[in-house]
């Protein structure tokens, strides 16, 4: 409803309790990870990049998003190349 001044509040969306992240923007794919036999997620590309930076996602990590027939290794998906570019290779054996 418009107030007497003719303006509306900038946002009528409810705030997230406890500083939780807001829901993803529409149209962004939501990815799930298969880590240690457990499904984790969903993550957007930014969330995947954070997981990769923390060493939890690599080329062999199984990933899935809506529209995919089955889980696939992240390294086989060109759309995740930018996420995996920041992942260092494994350390050589000592």
Helix (H) or strand (E) holding 84: helix 81-84
Q: What are φ and ψ of residue 39, in 5° steps?
A: -80, 135
Of residues 23 and 72, more confidently modeled: 72
| Whether pLDDT at 37 is above 60 | yes
Class of domain 29-84: alpha beta
CA distance 65 to 80: 12
Domain residue spans of the chain: 29-84
Q: What is the pLDDT of residues 38-68, one digit of tens each?
A: 999 999 999 999 999 888 999 999 999 999 9
Residues 33, 41 contacting (CB under 8 angstroms): yes
Confidence bin at 27 (pLDDT 50/70/90): confident
Confidence bin at 80 (pLDDT 50/70/90): very high
């Amino acid at each position: 409803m418009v107030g007497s001044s003719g303006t509306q509040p900038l946002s009528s969306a409810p705030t997230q309790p406890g500083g939780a992240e807001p829901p993803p923007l529409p149209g962004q794919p939501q990815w799930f990870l298969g880590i240690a036999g457990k499904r984790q997620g969903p993550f957007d590309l930014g969330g995947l990049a954070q997981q990769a930076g923390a060493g939890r996602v690599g080329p062999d990590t199984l990933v899935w998003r809506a529209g995919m027939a089955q889980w696939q290794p992240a390294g086989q998906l060109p759309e995740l190349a930018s996420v995996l570019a920041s992942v260092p290779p494994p350390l050589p054996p000592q």
